[in-house]
Amino acid sequence: MLDMTYIRDHAELLQHTADRKGIAVSIRGLLEADAQRRTLLQEVERLRAERNRRTEEIGALVRAARATDERAGAVDRAAAQPEGVNVVRVQLAEEAKQRMREMNAELAALEARLAETAAAWRTLLELVPNPVSADTPDGRSDADNVELRRVGEVPAFAFEALDHIQLGERLGMLDLARGVKLAGTRSYVLKGVGSRLHRAVQQLAMDVLERRGFTPLELPAMMRGVAFTNTGFFPTGRDQTFALAEGDKYLIGTSEVGLVSYYAGETVALDEPIRLAAATPCFRSEVGSAGRDVHGLYRVHQFAKVEQVVLCRGDAAVSDALLGEITANAEEILRLLELPYRVVAVCVGDMSQKTHKQYDIETWMPSRGAYGETHSSSNVLDFQARRAGIRYLDADGTLRYAHTLNNTAVAAPRILIPLLENHQREDGSVYVPLALRPYLGGVEAVRPE
């Protein structure tokens, strides 16, 4: 969420950004709704002040009339006050009460209009995108992302290489048919060493992050809608979530939702960045991806993800440096898995609403003959912190909103695609990288059953 002053001053830029990100929002419509909201708010506040003043006047008249009656006591009331004075006070009080009833009706109508206008304003405000960094490439899709670097050698097989499905089934690791029987399309079952490998890559990633100062959290897999709104996944990403039948709860598509919302509504100490990590099951409906990546483990409804989230001071230079840090963490994990990859700068058209600057890491997948996205790093500036109300005290004692960043340290089972395909051998076995062996009982290779 952005500050309204910033939006008013950068309306043209934000409309352009919304158009490039594919978000249907009218910045002009938002500004008009905001002007109407502020006008109504001023009128409501004026009427409330007038009502308070008149309430005091009525109280004074009533108190004066009561005091007159009390002074008169058993004595002739005509002697206590000039004739008719108390009658006039009573009449004035009744007239004021009638005006109060009319004012309350007028105020109720205005408050209803204000609530309706504010709701429309809020709906538009929640759609306004975060502006992108000056070095973000222009473009409309992932085809326009810009390669920054390649690391590792793409394998050249001297034999007919298999894809991850063939390898997984021959190694007794993967059962797609029964996964579909159990849960429908985009489902799978990992078994035996496949299950262990799935957990091993997650634990490797968590261990790397803990060594780098990240605090691990165990988070719920279902969260309230406000947590999704806090982090910018609602309203634009609502169609990607699975809603539970009862209550305002949804299955998470990333633990970023909880890692950021963990501090919602709080003032935190940010002398040093807060580094958090979690390994959670994740769920995505994949609406809009019909016919895309339906083969195997690339795009599935349920997966596991290790996420790293950082909260830092609201300084663009600090958060940009941390973006490099969390990207380097993900690259280290890929080097430990001995996989070739490339890093790309994501273009504006391939970004989500909340993202200011983003790098994707794509790992070589032989069966695709191309690099496939496996990791993503984003700097969100204070977009999420404003929504979630996460602030810190600056050096001069001023309350400011934090910056937040996130990165996929590893996502499985997608990472199993390059892991199996790049490390396959002619005899049908799959080499196990050195870093994974301690998690798999020291085995050097996975061999066919």
Q: Which two tokens stand for residue 253?
A: 């598509």
- Given 20, 37, 284, 387, which residue is catalytic? 284
- Given 20, 275, 391, 414, which residue is catalytic? 414
- Given 376, 378, 387, 421, which residue is catalytic? 376
| 381 backbone φψ class: left, alpha, beta (φ>0; ψ -120 to 50) | left
Question: Is 376 noted as a catalytic residue in this protein?
Answer: yes
Largest CA distance in the chain: 121
Question: Is 299 noted as a catalytic residue in this protein?
Answer: yes
Q: Which two tokens stand for residue 24?
A: 């249907």
Q: Which residue type sits at 180?
A: V
Peptide bond preceding 235: is omega within 30 degrees of 0, i.e. cis? yes
- Given 89, 373, 377, 387, which residue is catalytic? 373
Question: Is 187 noted as a catalytic residue in this protein?
Answer: no
Question: Is 373 noted as a catalytic residue in this protein?
Answer: yes
Question: Is 150 noted as a catalytic residue in this protein?
Answer: no
Instruction: Give the span between the Cα atoms of 276 and 309, in whole angstroms.
Output: 5
- Given 299, 342, 368, 447, which residue is catalytic? 299
Give the catalytic positions in this structure.
Answer: 284, 299, 373, 376, 414
